[in-house]
Structure 1
């Protein structure tokens, strides 16, 4: 087949982007790491409850490994799913997907700080806590 016929066979209107003017932006983060402690149920000022937990990830060679800590909040409603998450033990290997947002605040010493807030959208348990 000639190059001319091959070019005509490709769809002309196929595009890999959106031309919509209503496109919203967001930040998404994926973590694979171990729970730094068991998740805890925390009451909010509005009377509802949320789950909070930390996930630790490691990078670098074994002799010079760096650990990064991420604070995660879950708005999972009361029920079996929230009870399951709250029952996970420190050291459990988890996969977390969530939305990420940078927040600025002033610490107790009056210094400006920035923190990454992650709101859980999905959590999967990859491996239970290793036996000691």
Structure 2
């Protein structure tokens, strides 16, 4: 019997997972398809690191009952052609974004506890750019 076969049969039922050389890491992943709310912008964080920020709008429902969900996305992309390309994308571009989702809790100015979803981009693909007449 091979090493992998012995390992699989020795694992407790329900605890086995696919073989991986890396340690297990729990991550909440999210996939978005929607339109850019504005051209992505580069901002400096409080530590001086630069972050690319943008919002994606995703619509659901029929025309009469359409609802729009807004997602704020951040990406840590070094200066260069890739970042230049993303900052040149016009509002209304349809994008496919894969990222990590993190729920943050903070206290607002009125002292109330609030939650905010942070999405950190891992991959982005441009599906469509708006035509100049849009």
Tell me the TM-score normalised to structure 1 length: 0.82
Structure 1: distance between partners of 2:48 and 2:24 = 34
Bigger CA radius of gyration: 1
**Cross-structure match for 2:123:** 122
Q: Does 1:18 align with 2:17?
A: yes
CA distance in structure 2 between the aligned counterparts of 1:48 and 1:96, rounded to whole angstroms: 22
Residue segments in structure 2 that go unaligned for 5+ positions in a row: 10-15
In 1: Cα distance, 2:94 partner to 2:106 partner: 30
Partner in structure 2 of residue 7 of structure 1: none
* 1:2-81 equivalences in 2 (<5 Å): 17-18=16-17, 22-81=23-82
Looking at structure 2, the residues matched to 122 and 49 of structure 1 have their Cα atoms a distance apart, in angstroms, of 18
- 1:93-104 equivalent positions in 2, closer than 5 A: 93-104=94-105
CA distance in 2, matches of 1:19, 1:55: 33
User: How many residues are matched?
Assistant: 121
TM-score, reference length from structure 2: 0.81
User: Does 2:83 match 1:82?
Assistant: yes
Q: What is the rounded CA distance, in whole Å, between the counterparts of 2:64 and 2:87 in structure 1?
A: 33
| 4+ residue segments displaced more than 2 Å | none
